[in-house]
Homo-oligomer: A and B are copies of this chain.
């Protein structure tokens, strides 16, 4: 009877969507301010919508080609699941953007009455996105899983895998495209506006400012949402696929086989409900307590999830046919959640200006940009050490706890639960993250609309808290990516090994060359995305310079003279779409090609991408975050403050760090998952090819 618990997942998803709808309508009912504010917000809405629609148009062709390939090489149902996964990602992104780009002016307007009101609007719009992402992900995945894993005569994981592959592919394009968009606009607007023309940030005369504001939404709302949507789906899927394999291999029977299969769905369902409850804990009237209020929401959600996990593990133990000590799994899941929190804290340590590393970068800025850059790069590299060790500790604990329940197979299942434990709070994590760009945009609108400075101060307070919570969210994103990929990798290997002989020991030269090629991918991705941002930023720079030169009276600020912001939006859109295609296609194409040569190479490749990608992603994200906050620290007045030589050096670091933290780092993060999920989906194809061309010759 335990299998009927699986229905809790779609039910929780519906509840999540209802609450999201309620919050969205609540946000939209708020006052959007005066005409100028509405106009500015309208420009951002239009730009965001234009980008998303153009992006989706480009992706339809890609998705259809892949769907046809999947339909032929795997099964038509896999293709259908793939399309569902992609379409729901697109829908979540669109809804999130729709609300976020309307919440910005409303947050500005609410800030005129006080910080509590502003917080409420911004946070509720963020949590709308969070709930939509989690609910749609869970809804789609659980329905496919219910029909093809839980109530199926013969479970067909290769169908359900397709859903996650759809989610992953869209996530990669959304992250890469969004990352390029936002940084091209940001770097271009800053270099010409702030540095060359000497006008303040978010000045209405700057033609690139709207594109910059659109970019915040495109990158941090839609991009981050798609990223965690797919991590979430992947983390739920991985233990289920392992559970199916254990059922088939006879390692689990009866109630144990059933509970192991529905457990991930129940935990995810509970996570959504816990997030909704946690939402109501966020409320404050005291500006100094915003951070605390947000933390209260996250903490309450985490505690509820902990209780839920313990309860479910206890339930399993009490119904276990084989008398499994399933309560050990609580430790597995808790290790994941704790690792996510710890890596978030470490990220904060390395990227917040309240701590030594960022202060040292600010110090180094005094001797010029070269020392600022060197210090930032070495901080970024150093910041990988602790997260790697924490991740390793979580893997070991989750695995050993799982082996206490049963053999190594249940140990690996424990690793899957660790990833899931980390991601049960996805709705809250995304919500807290998506709140950041709304607050950022609200500040931009206050500036451009010429509102009194105290409004901007209030939105700035919201924004600065958002920067820290974003760092924590990044810690979650990257560690969950690594854990999820690890569990999916084992699923890949188990499914493959059921039909063909593998030789994935480390002394097989083909495995080693796979690891080397895999380790090379993050560098290749880093280079491609960095290059893309600099090309796109260059196009933006040329356009903004042209407008300052050709539009008479623009720089002088003559009344009635407006910049052509839409031209800049078009440039960012076009560049992002053009540049995202190659990295995206390569990530999806390389795994099947390698598998066609030899699946052992592919296995090595996946581990190479996982290990090196995790580190590169942390390195780039943290170096970028640290440079950003070193600049902000100097802007608080340290080392001579704004306009000093140290500040100029810090601006250089910040500019280098922008694509590091918002384009390359997050893209590599998704790369890790995409290559693994694609490999998993193509398992039946590899089996049909008998393990690849070289596999049978040598």
Chain A residues near B (Cβ < 8 Å):
191, 195, 364, 367-371, 373-375, 377-382, 384-385, 388-389, 391-392, 395-396, 399-400, 403, 408, 411-412, 415, 482, 486, 489-490, 493-494, 502, 504-507, 509-513, 515-520, 523-524, 526-528, 530-531, 533-534, 538, 541, 603-604, 607-608, 610-612, 614-615, 619, 651-652, 655-656, 659, 698
Question: Nearest-CB distance from A120 to chain B (Å)?
Answer: 38
CB contacts (< 8 Å) of A504 on chain B: these are 505-507
A589 to chain B, nearest CB (A): 15
Q: Contacts A371-B534, A374-B655, A385-B527 known; list 5 others, CB within 8 Å.
A: A371-B655, A392-B517, A396-B509, A519-B611, A519-B615
Partner of A368, one of B373, B399, B493, B652: B652
Task: For the complex formed, measure the closest distance between the CB of A453 and the CB atoms of chain B, giving whole angstroms.
Answer: 29
Contacts of A538 in B (CB 8 A): 367
Report the separation of the CA atoms of residues A377 and B373 in the bound assembly, to the nearest whole angstrom: 11
Q: A611 near B614 (CB under 8 angstroms)? A: no
Tell whether, in the assembled complex, residue A611 and residue B507 are in contact, meaning their CB atoms are under 8 Å apart: no
A389 CA to B521 CA, complexed, in Å? 11
Cβ distance A628 to chain B, nearest Cβ, rounded Å: 13
Q: Is the CB of A373 within 8 A of B519?
A: no
Q: How far is the CB of A186 from chain B (nearest CB, A)?
A: 12
Copies of this chain in the oligomer: 2
Contact A382 B531, beta carbon cutoff 8 Å: yes
> Can you spell out 27 A-B residue pairs with CB atoms less than 8 angstroms apart?
A191-B368, A191-B370, A364-B534, A369-B369, A369-B652, A373-B652, A374-B530, A374-B655, A374-B656, A378-B534, A379-B527, A380-B527, A381-B523, A382-B524, A382-B527, A384-B520, A385-B523, A388-B516, A388-B517, A395-B509, A396-B510, A399-B509, A408-B698, A490-B507, A519-B614, A519-B615, A520-B615
The complex places the Cα of A544 from the Cα of B604 at a distance, in Å, of: 51
Tell whether, in the assembled complex, residue B656 and residue A370 are in contact, meaning their CB atoms are under 8 Å apart.
Answer: yes
Chain A contact residues: helix, strand, loop or mixed: helix
> How long is the Cα–Cα vector from A6 to B534 in the complex, in angstroms?
57
Whether the pair B506, A506 counts as a contact (CB closer than 8 A) is: yes
Smallest CB–CB gap between A444 and chain B, Å? 22
Q: How far is the CA of A538 from the CA of B396 in the complex (A)?
A: 41
Do the beta carbons of B377 and A656 come within 8 Å of each other? Answer: yes
CA distance A507 to B378 in the complex (A): 32
A509–B517 Cα distance when bound, in Å, is: 21
The residue in chain B whose Cβ has the minimal distance to the Cβ of A482 is B516
Q: Which of B369, B374, B619 contacts A534 (CB 8 A)?
A: B374
CB distance from A156 to the nearest CB of B (A): 22
Option from B400, B530, B611, B615 in Cβ contact (under 8 Å) with A378:
B530
A636→B395 CA distance, assembly (Å): 54
Counting from the closest, the 7 A-B pairs by CB-CB distance are A382-B527, A381-B527, A370-B655, A378-B530, A519-B611, A388-B520, A392-B513
Which residues in B have their C-beta under 8 angstroms from that of A486?
509, 512
Report the Cα distance A515→B608, complex, angstroms: 8
Assess A378 versus B415: contact at CB under 8 Å? Given A512-B486, A612-B611.
Answer: no
* Contact flag A603-B652 (CB < 8 Å), given A519-B615, A659-B374: no
**Chain B residues whose CB sits within 8 angstroms of the CB of A385 once the complex forms:** 520, 523-524, 527
A380 and B527 CA atoms in complex are apart in Å by: 8
How distant is the Cα of A526 from the Cα of B519 in the complex, in angstroms? 17
A386 — nearest CB in chain B belongs to which residue?
A: B520
The listed residue (B391, B403, B652) touching A516 by CB distance below 8 A is B391
Give complex CA distance A286, B652 in Å.
45
Contacts of A512 in B (CB 8 A): 395, 486, 489, 607, 610-611
Q: How far is the CA of A470 from the CA of B506 in the complex (A)?
A: 33
Q: A412-B509, A493-B506 are in contact. Are A384 and B541 (CB under 8 A)?
A: no
Cα A515 to Cα B656 with chains together (Å)? 29
Contact indicator A527/B615 (Cβ below 8 Å): no
In the bound complex, CA of A288 to CA of B323 (Å)? 83
Q: Tell whether, in the assembled complex, residue A611 and residue B382 are in contact, meaning their CB atoms are under 8 Å apart.
A: no
Set of chain B residues within 8 Å of A511, measured between Cβ atoms: 506
Q: Which residues of B contact A392 (CB under 8 A)?
A: 513, 516-517
Which residue in B380, B396, B516, B610 is a CB contact (below 8 Å) of A614? B516
How close is A541's CB to chain B, nearest CB, in angstroms? 7
Contact B516 A489 (CB under 8 A): no
Residues of B within 8 A of A494 (CB): 507
A600 nearest CB across to chain B (Å):
9
CA distance A370 to B541 in the complex (A): 14
**A611–B515 contact, CB under 8 A?**
yes
Distance of A414 from chain B, by nearest CB (Å): 9
Which of A373, A399, A528, A614 has the most B CB atoms < 10 Å from its CB?
A373
Shortest beta-carbon distance from A620 to chain B in Å: 10
Verify B506–A607 contact, CB threshold 8 A. Answer: yes
Closest to A697 in B: B400
A370, A382, A388, A505 interface centre (most CB from chain B within 10 Å): A370
Q: Which residues of B contact A377 (CB under 8 A)?
A: 530, 656
Q: Which residues does chain B contribute within 8 Å of A374, judged by CB atoms? A: 530, 533-534, 655-656, 659
Least CB distance, A663 to chain B, in whole angstroms? 11
Among B373, B381, B513, contact of A526 (Cβ-Cβ < 8 Å) = B381
Whether A513 lies near B656 (C-beta < 8 A) is no
Best-buried of A369, A482, A520 by chain B (most CB within 10 Å): A520
- A368 and B515 CA atoms in complex are apart in Å by 37
Chain B nearest CB, measured from A593 CB (Å): 13
Min CB–CB distance A660 → chain B (angstroms): 8
The residue that A381 contacts in the complex, of B191, B530, B541, B603, with Cβ under 8 A, is B530
Most buried by B among A395, A502, A513, A533: A513
Tell me whether B384 and A524 are in contact (CB under 8 A): yes
Q: Please give me the residue from chain B that is nearest to A604 by CB atom.
A: B506
- Give the distance in Å from the alpha carbon of A360 to the alpha carbon of B369 in the complex: 20
- Distance of A364 Cα from B535 Cα, bound (Å): 11
> Which one of A382, A619, A659 has the highest number of Cβ atoms from chain B below 10 Å of its Cβ?
A382
- Indicate if the CB atoms of B656 and A395 lie closer than 8 Å: no
Complex formed: what's the CA distance from A396 to B494 in Å? 26
CB–CB A400/B507 < 8 A: no
